[in-house]
Amino acid sequence: MVFTILVACERIDAQNMTTSDNQSTKSTMGIATFAGGCFWCTEADFDKLPGVISTTPGYIAGTVTNPTYKQVSSGTTGHIEAVQVRFDPAKTNFARLLAAYWPTIDPLTLNRQFCDGGPQYRSAIFYHNSDQKKKTEASKAELVASRRFSQPIVTEILPATTFYPAEEYHQNYYVKNPIRYAFYRSGCGRDGRLEEVWGK
């Protein structure tokens, strides 16, 4: 799905970088945070996109400092499994990431994504500034106005709060454990449900 929302982007000069240049480049990287159920799958989906520099699975929006996977998965900390995306504004922008995000989730199911149930698996977009908030609200409104769905879109739009990276074994899980990841994704019915919601 393509959205007609445009984002003004800053560009990175990658030539002749010194150590200080690297630090400056890091500060000018774009950042976006998305929740779409199991963060293994969300990470794998975003890693495929041009302009994405890095993805970090983690926990956001909760009340416990430095939560563990066990705590978050219990649904008692208020956290949501999410992925923080760092991107190169010279190659992509927030609007493109947002457009790519929607077809990777089930936006019609509350407090659940595919086989994973509970508020910790709900879909959400976290905005890091007023521009991201405006564009996220516009993209959701555009999706509603398209009348593509008869059910309401329950994906939340929330301010980005402290993001806690998940344990190391969750980072790049789909790369480290390709067979287990493929089995999980298939067994969870993720791609089948996405086809049902969005079509082929």
Q: Which residue among 38, 41, 115, 188 is the active-site one?
A: 38
Q: Is 38 a catalytic residue?
A: yes
The full 3-state SS of the chain, as one line of letters, equals: CCCCCCCCCCCCCCCCCCHHHHHHHHHHCEEEEEEECCHHHHHHHHHCCCCEEEEEEEEECCCCCCCCHHHHHCCCCCCEEEEEEEECCCCCCHHHHHHHHHHHCCCCCCCEECCEECHHHCEEEEECCHHHHHHHHHHHHHHHHCCCCCCCCCCEEEECCCEEECCHHHCCHHHHCHHHHHHHHHHCCHHHHHHHHHCC
Which sequence positions are flagged as catalytic? 38
